[in-house]
Amino acid sequence: MSKLGILGRSGVPRSNEGMRLIFSAVIGVMLGYLFGISFPTVYITKLHFPSSIISYIEDRNSGITTQTLLNHAWTFANSKKRNSSESNSDEIPKIYVPTNPKGAESLAPGIVVPETDLYLRRLWGEPSEDLTSQPRYLVTFTVGYPQKANIDAAVKKFSENFTIMLFHYDDRTTEWDEFEWSKKAIHVSVRKQTKWWFAKRFLHPDIVARYDYIFIWDEDLDVQHFNAEAYIELVRKHGLEISQPGLEPDKGLTWQMTKRLGDQEVHKVTEERPGWCTDPYLPPCAAFVEIMATVFSRDAWRCVWHMIQNDLVHGWGLDFSLRKCVEPAHEKIGVVDSQWIVHQVVPSLGNQGMAENGRAPWEGVRARCRKEWGMFQTRLADAENAYYLQKGIIPPNSTA
């Protein structure tokens, strides 16, 4: 079960049956209100509310006077009706707006809100005065409680211009409240799920549409030499749509591309071991970053989100295919050298696997990672071949 801890964070006890009832009652009344004011002329006059329903709603929510709202809607609808009957157009035309988001064509465009954000709001006062700040950047960490010191240090490298979001895979959320910043963070808790599982489910592009840049980070990163504002400045300056900070050379380094170069701000190409790159502008020599500390622009993320598969939760192989989402990839994917991190290589989620056939938990996880990588490559190649075939084009030999 997932807990978006927004209510919990503002001091309301979680998983409290009483609260839940009140909450659903409020939602019910709000829905009633919305229907009432959204379609007064079209529907209200035709709807017949039995008085028992009205008093039922009132009983469940003595604070809000539903009757008043309905009266208001009635008056409004009636006067409209009188006006429209004068002009002899009793038939109200149906709304159909093909340019609305798919499925919402029957709504007047003015009421359609296709995107949202992760800003916290108050339960009282003027909605327009709720937000004291509207961060333009989002950073997510997928965390287990044992890494709390690391995450605390990392979060402090991100200014108030960032929304902080934690994905908890060990179901321990309340313990984080020892940190002041945690009370304003977004917490999503689901047992034993991976970063890409969370990202696919909770970072839909329409949900994070307010953020210019989205950091999707692991928990085992040492950020001593990293400053998030400075990083974003460099990413903007060099036009990087997908990026990562350089990695300190002597630890956790798999690819030359991600290795920090001491003498420059960013790099976009590198040299690998002989024979590793078929093309100097293709991974792993260019158009390539790893998936441990990736930073996406809004547009790049919209594409990458669509490429993430629901069932391939480890994201292996994604790094080699990120280039499908930006053009030209060898110029828009790169590594920021002057803001760099150390990958500490703590296989924490790996230990949340299951011991099977005499294998340690992490071995099963590792095997699954490899299998997913193969599956992802096959799916991508098949999809592209199918596309080319359908278009009557002979598929290029390399689609990986």
Task: Give 320's strand partners.
Answer: none
3-state secondary structure of 97: coil
Question: At closest approach, how far in Å is the CB of 139 from ligand NAG?
Answer: 14
3-state secondary structure of 199: helix
Stretch that binds ligand NAG, among 77-85, 332-340, 372-380, 388-396 (CB under 6 A): 77-85
Closest C-alpha to 223, from 143, 147, 150, 140: 150
Asked whether 141 and 151 are in contact (CB, 8 A), the reply is yes
Binding string, residues 52-71; x marks residues near ligand NAG by CB under 6 A: --------------------
Q: Rounded CA gap, 331 and 303, in Å? A: 17
Applying CB under 6 A, among 65, 79, 254, 385 the residue interacting with ligand NAG is 79
210 binds ligand NAG (CB under 6 A): no
Q: Rounded CA gap, 175 and 187, in Å? A: 12
Identity of the residue, 162 or 167, whose beta carbon is nearer to ligand NAG in the bound complex = 162
Residue type, 272: E
Identity of the residue, 70 or 304, whose beta carbon is nearer to ligand NAG in the bound complex = 70
Contacts of 222 (CB under 8 A, 6+ apart): 150, 153, 248, 341, 342, 343, 344
Which tokens is 117 given? 């954000």
Question: At closest approach, how far in Å is the CB of 168 from ligand NAG?
Answer: 27
3-state secondary structure of 331: helix
Residue nearest to ligand NAG (CB): 159
Question: At closest approach, how far in Å is the CB of 228 from ligand NAG?
Answer: 8
Identity of the residue, 45 or 399, whose beta carbon is nearer to ligand NAG in the bound complex = 45
72 binds ligand NAG (CB under 6 A): no
Identity of the residue, 231 or 376, whose beta carbon is nearer to ligand NAG in the bound complex = 231
256 binds ligand NAG (CB under 6 A): no
In angstroms, what CA-CA distances link 180 with 152, 155, 175, 183?
A: 10, 11, 12, 6
Q: Rounded CA gap, 257 and 261, in Å? A: 10
83 binds ligand NAG (CB under 6 A): yes
Applying CB under 6 A, among 59, 130, 206, 229 the residue interacting with ligand NAG is 229
Q: Rounded CA gap, 180 and 196, in Å? A: 27
238 binds ligand NAG (CB under 6 A): no
Identity of the residue, 60 or 80, whose beta carbon is nearer to ligand NAG in the bound complex = 80
78 binds ligand NAG (CB under 6 A): no
Bridge-based pairing of strands 162-168 and 137-143 is: parallel
* Strand ranges for the chain from DSSP E: 3-4, 137-143, 162-168, 186-189, 213-217, 221-222, 242-247, 266-267, 293-297, 333-343
3-state secondary structure of 397: coil
Stretch that binds ligand NAG, among 79-87, 276-284, 340-348, 353-361 (CB under 6 A): 79-87
Stretch that binds ligand NAG, among 25-33, 78-86, 89-97, 264-272 (CB under 6 A): 78-86
Identity of the residue, 80 or 148, whose beta carbon is nearer to ligand NAG in the bound complex = 80
Binding-residue total with ligand NAG (CB under 6 A): 6
Identity of the residue, 227 or 309, whose beta carbon is nearer to ligand NAG in the bound complex = 227
Residues that bind ligand NAG (CB under 6 A): 79-80, 83, 159, 161, 229
